[in-house]
A and B are shown apart, each in its own frame.
Chain A
Amino acid sequence: MSTETIVSMSVILCIVWGGFLSTVVYAWIKHGRNMKRDKTGKQEEVN
C-alpha cells in the first residue's frame, strides 16, 4: 500500500470510527454525571 493510501485511510477511519467512539464515550460520561447529580439532589432533598 502506498503512503498516500495509509494516510488517507487513517484520516477517514479517525473521523468516522473515532467520531463514533468519542460520541459514545462522551454520552457515557455525561450519563454518569447526570446520574450522580440526580442522586446527590435526591440525597440533599432527604437531608
Chain B
Amino acid sequence: MEDRETFSSWKTVLLAALAVDVGSGNIWRFPRMAAANGGGAFIVTWLCALFLWSIPIIIIEYGLGRGTRLGIAGAFGRLHGKGGSINPRYNWVGLFIGSCTVFIMFYYSVICGWSFKYFLSSFSGSLYATDSQLFWDAFTSGYEPVVYHFAAVLMSCLVVWFGIQKGIERVNRVMVPGLFLLLVVSAVNAIGLEGSGKGLEFLFNPDWGSLLKYQVWLQGLSQSAWSIGPGWGLILTMGVYVKKREDIVLNSFMTGLGNNSASLLAGIAVLCTLFSLLPEGEALNVASQGNFGLTFVWIPKLFMEMRAGSIFGTVFFLGLSFATLSSLIIMILLAANVLEDLGLKRKKGVVIVGIATFVVGLPSAVSVPFLENQDWVWGLGLLIGGVLTAVSAAKYGIRNFQKEFINTVAGNVRVGKWHEVVVRYLIPIEFFVLIVWWFYQSVTAYDPDGWYNPLRVYSVATCLVQWALVLFVIFLSVKWISAKVLNTMNARNSSGGEK
C-alpha cells in the first residue's frame, strides 16, 4: 500500500487552498452580484457570511481530513464509527458531498476549456476581429469546446498524476501568485481608465438602506458559499495531505480572506472597466447579464474599445484560465482520492477520473443549457454539503470535535465558543433560509411556468430529481463503499504510518 504524501510546508498548503477557492466564482460571479445588489451594502453582507458560514465550515473540513486521513468516501463514516470502524449510516454524507463536487467537475472542465480558448484567441487577436456575440455563438455551436474540454482534463490529470509535491505544489507555485499578479494588473489598469471612479463609487459606497433588504443578505451569503466553497469536500481532501501539526484555523482564515481579496481585485477590474466605457444605466444592465454573457460576450467587447485592449484582454483571460485550471486540478484530486481510498493505485485512479470527466462532461461541452442546468443543480447541492458538514460535526459533539480534530497542537490558533455557536445554531438557520429562498426564486423568477418540470434548466423539480437519483445510488452502495474504505485504511495502517 502506498504511503500518503503530504504538502511540504504551510506556504504550499496556502497556495493549494487559494488554488481551490479562487476560481470563476471570484472573477465573473462576484462583480455581477456586487453590481446587482447595491455594491457596498452587498460587500458588508458578503464579509459577514465569510465569518458566519464559510470559515467555520472550512475549519471543520480541514480538521476532518487531517484527523481521519480519509477523503470524502470515508471521513464522515470514520468520524461516527466506533472502535476504528466506518459507520455507513453517516458515510453517505461524504458520498453526497463528493457526488456534488464530481458533477461540478464534469462541467467545470468545459468552462476551463472556454477560458483557454478565449485566452488563445485574445492573444492571437482573433477574438477582436469579429463581434463578440457572433464569436461566442460560433464557438459554442461547433466542436471546439470538446477539444478544449479534453485539453483541460488532460492538463489537470497530468498535474495530479505527478503527485502532491512534484505536481500540484509545482504548478501552484506559478499559477496562484501569477493569478494574483494578473488580477492586480487588471485592477490597476481599470482604475487608470477615465471615469473609473464611478465604478469604485458603486462598488464601495454603501447604501445603508439596502442592508434592510433580505435579498442583499441572502446574495452575500450565497456568493460566499459559492466562491469559497465550504462543503465541497475539497478542503477536506486537502486536509488529508497536510501535516499533523499544520495550523488549520490560521490556514482557514488565510484561505477565506485570500479568496475575498481576489474577489475584490476582480470586482474593481470588471466594474471600473464597465463604468468607464459605458453610461451608468447601460453598465448596470450589462453587469446584470448572466455569468457567461458578462465574461464571454461583454468583456471582449469592452476590451475591444479600450486602448491596448487586446493586451489587457489576454491578461484577463490568462487569469481566468489559471483560476479555473487550479480549481479543476483539486477537483480531480478529490475524485482520484476517493478511488485511492477504495483501494486503487493513485495513478490508475487519475486515469479513470480523467476518462470519466471527459466522457460525462461531453453533454456540457456541446450544450450550454445542459451546462447551466448542471451548474444550478449541483451549485445548490453544495449548500446542502455545507450544512451536512456542520451538522455532522455538531452531531459528534462540537466541543469534542474541536478538542480531538481542531485544537490538537499546542501553540496553534484555537477555536472555541464562537465556532460552536455558529456551527450548532447559525449555519442550520442560514441554510434553511437560503434554500427556501432559492427555491422561491426558482418558482417566482427563474422559471415560474415550469418549476415542477424536471426537464427544465432552472426548475425546482430538476434539482430534486437529480439529487434523489444520486442519493438512491449512494444508499445502494454505501455499505460496500464503507467496507472497501475500511479495508484500505487497515491495509494502510498495517503498512506504516504517516510520512
Contacts and interface: CB of A to CB of B under 8 A. Distances in A.
Interface of A: 1-2, 4-5, 8-9, 12-13, 15-17, 19-20, 23-24, 26-27, 30-31, 34
B74 interface: no
A13 B251 CA distance: 20
Interface string B1-45: 000000001100010000000000000000000000000100100
Q: Interface majority SS on A: helix, strand, loop or mixed?
A: helix
Nearest to B254: A23
Interface centre among B14, B204, B258 (most CB of A within 10 A): B204
B200 A23 contact: no
B411 to A, nearest CB: 8
A36 B70 CA distance: 32
B205 A4 contact: yes
Interface residues of B, number: 24
B201 A12 contact: no
A27 B254 CA distance: 9
B260 interface: yes
Q: Interface majority SS on B: helix, strand, loop or mixed?
A: helix
Interface of B: 9-10, 14, 40, 43, 47, 197, 200-201, 203-206, 247, 250-251, 253-254, 257-258, 260-261, 264, 411
A18 B18 CA distance: 17
A13 B261 CA distance: 8
Contact of B204 (A12, A19, A27): A12
A27 B10 contact: yes
B260 A16 contact: yes
Contact of A19 (B10, B14, B40, B253): B253
14 contacts: A2-B201, A9-B200, A12-B43, A16-B264, A17-B261, A17-B264, A20-B260, A23-B250, A23-B253, A23-B257, A24-B258, A26-B250, A27-B254, A31-B10
A13 B268 CA distance: 12
B183 to A, nearest CB: 12
Contacts of B47: 12, 15-16
Given A2-B201, A5-B200, A20 B10 contact: no
A5 B204 CA distance: 6
